[in-house]
Amino acid sequence: MKGRMDTDMGHIVIDREVMARYAGSAATECFGVVGMASVNVKDGVTKLLKKENLSRGVVVSIVDNKIRIQLHVIVAYGVSIRAVAQNILENVRGRMETFTGMKVDKISVIVEGVRVIDD
């Protein structure tokens, strides 16, 4: 289902793919996030996604005109996963509610892997 808002000037419809891309972008801006992950269910292999495929690591659903988001991320080695996840939750919720004008009901952060970052 697409996000739909009715205003006094008309209707606004936002595709889930657009929301997924925006949520993925907001998540990857957070400190400690290496990138979004794509999980191959068949092999159980986790793959780091490039910038143009951010939406593949995000699942967006809309229930009762509220957004539910599932983010599959890869975090940097040595950072607090709890702190990174909290940062993702706050950033994505704020950005998505501002961007769409819709309420975010639930965000799930699934850490699919840890990577060492070379500086």
Please identify which residue in the block is written with the tokens 């289902």.
Answer: 1
Least confident of 27-41, 70-84, 93-107: 27-41
Alpha carbon distance, N-terminus to C-terminus of the chain: 42
User: Average of pLDDT values for 51-73?
Assistant: 85
What distance in Å separates the CA atoms of residue 113 and residue 76, rounded to the nearest whole number? 9
Q: Which CATH architecture has domain 3-115?
A: 2-Layer Sandwich (3.30)
- Mean of the pLDDT values across residues 38-43? 56
Task: Give this prediction's pTM.
Answer: 0.82
Backbone torsions φ then ψ of 77, nearest 5 degrees: -65, 135
Is the CB of residue 20 less than 8 Å from the CB of residue 58? yes
The residue assigned the tokens 């659903």 is 61
Backbone angles phi, psi at 52, to 5 degrees: -75, -10
Q: How far apart are CA 41 and CA 96, in angstroms?
A: 28
- Give me the residue spans of the domains in the chain: 3-115
* Average pLDDT of span 91-114: 93
Confidence of residue 43 (pLDDT cuts 50, 70, 90): very low
Higher local confidence (pLDDT), 56 or 74: 74
